[in-house]
Amino acid sequence: MSTTTSSTTSAGTRSGPVDPIGADLVRTLKELKLGQMTQTLPERLVLARQQKMSHAAFLQLVLADEITRRDSRSATLRSRAAGLDPSMRLDTWDELDDLTYDRELLADLATLRFTEAGHGALVLGPVGVGKTHLACALGHIAIRRRMTVHAARADKLFTRLRGARLDNTLEAELRKLARVDLLILDDFALKPLDATETNDFYELVVDRHHRASTIVTSNREPSEWLTLMSDALLAQSAVDRLTSGAHTLVIEGPSYRQRHPHRRAAIDPEGGQP
């Protein structure tokens, strides 16, 4: 014979009797691929009893819980596939409280309205101020809105495209990148771009211009990018397209690593880059 137990809240007070979840119900939920529901079902049963919910209302409640769980798991998996650091979210940005930047512009960027018109965003500033953190945070928001996202450090992306030339998959790679709703190009122009990299950058920007949004983080101003590319004409054409209509957020302040040296291993807003 089953017994009825009581649940205890975090404050230590008893919230009332909880119906135990029997083995048969657990097995049924697992067969329906609803096994995660057992994590919240006891508390939901308590709530249903307290609020005298109808059967339909209770069913709606537990199914809504399951939708939330699946959405959260899906977002986690898609964020990982997109190359986003899970710790770099907007809700952790307030730790960087001694920086100077346009907070109204940041709030506007967080709405992702700039993506509706296919505009881009430039996040500029010195080393260690959290440019990568902020770009990833916007990527997480985009993921939650069911947008496709791809984040990569610029030098690694260009190396990948160089490798694609060797197995004749370059066009496929460029098409794939052109279709991404939000491309995050991190640490761009940290070092000079050779002829191949300059050409790939040009092709990427042209393919995405007015069709999809790109976020670029860099320690350098766009005018400096031009001097680091091997082909002046391609460079000017690409940079002009990328910056026209783009929102530019400049972050100023001391390096996070210098401000919080004891936290370097735990939290690094620039993804461990120099």
Q: Is the pLDDT of residue 35 over 60?
A: yes
pLDDT of residue 181: 97
Helix, strand, coil share (%) of the chain residues, nearest 5: 55, 15, 35
pLDDT at 55 exceeding the cut of 50: yes
pTM: 0.74
Residues above pLDDT 70, as percent of the chain: 85
pLDDT, position 197? 97
CB-based burial, 225-256: b 16+ in 10 Å, e otherwise: beebbebeebbeebbebbbeebbebbbebeeb
d(CA 62, CA 41): 7
pLDDT for residue 76: 80
Neighbours of 36 (CB within 10 A): 15
Mean pLDDT along residues 135-147: 95
- List the domain boundaries for the chain: 20-81, 86-263
**Domain 86-263, CATH class in plain words:** alpha beta
Nearest CA to 88 out of 176, 186, 12, 203 is that of: 186
Say if residue 9's pLDDT is above 90.
no
What is residue 7's three-state secondary structure? strand
pLDDT of residue 18: 52
The three-point CA angle 264-268-272 to 5° equals: 95
The 8-class DSSP code of residue 126 comes to S
DSSP characters for 204-239?
A: HHHHHTTTSEEEEEESS-HHHHHHTBS-HHHHHHHH
Query: What single string gives the DSSP state of each residue in 127-143?
Result: TTSSHHHHHHHHHHHHH
Pairing of strands 14-18, 121-124: unpaired
Map tokens 């680091």 to a residue: 228
What's the chain's length in residues?
Answer: 274
Q: Which residue has the higher pLDDT, 15 or 132?
A: 132
Quote the tokens at residue 201.
């950058």
Name the burial class of residue 116, with classes exposed (0-12), middle (13-18) and buried (19+) by CB atoms within 10 angstroms of its CB. exposed
pLDDT tens, 196-208?
Answer: 999 999 999 999 9
pLDDT at residue 269 above 80? Answer: no
